[in-house]
Amino acid sequence: MTRTYWNVADTPPTGDDPLDALTVRLAAAYEEPWLLKFHLDDVGSAAGRAAELIYPSLRVSTKDEVLTVADYLSAYVLEWTLHHLDLIAHLPGVAEPPADGLARSREMLETIVGAAFPKLLPDKDALLIGTGRRTPTDTEKAQLGDLAAKLPVVLG
């Protein structure tokens, strides 16, 4: 995947941008958790069916970038893995993203950051810390070494 697909920012969105504000309003529109689950199940299963039918080497344009369908779908693995982690953050006992999705997302984040996370750091924790969803412990900061200064990355 090209690194240019992701717009890496130094700070998270403030909500002042009209698109940021729209995202918050859209999320609030679901009102009940089952509505969001229904939508994500529907969109996710449709995306899965489409991915099985498409040629991975075809090119698509998005965000002023041209990339292969395979790279575009890979970007969605990272994006939806992070969204899955967000949705279950405060729901104990709920299924986590699939292990292969976590591993692939970690690989992509490492490519974006330009460095590997410590092998002792589980994929989920690398993603949460790397994207600022969780603060690293002192032990994790020590394991991260110089990489800690590059984190978190804000993907847009």
pLDDT digits 0-9 by tens, 62-95 = 878 888 888 888 888 898 899 899 888 888 899 9
> What is the number of domains present in the chain?
1
pTM exceeding the 0.85 threshold for the entire prediction: no
Q: Can you give the residue range of the structural domain that contains 127?
A: 3-155
Least confident of 80-84, 133-137, 152-156: 152-156
Task: Please give the Cα distance from 128 to 148 (Å, whole number).
Answer: 13
Q: What is the CA radius of gyration of the chain?
A: 16
Q: pLDDT band for 132, please (50, 70, 90 cuts).
A: very high
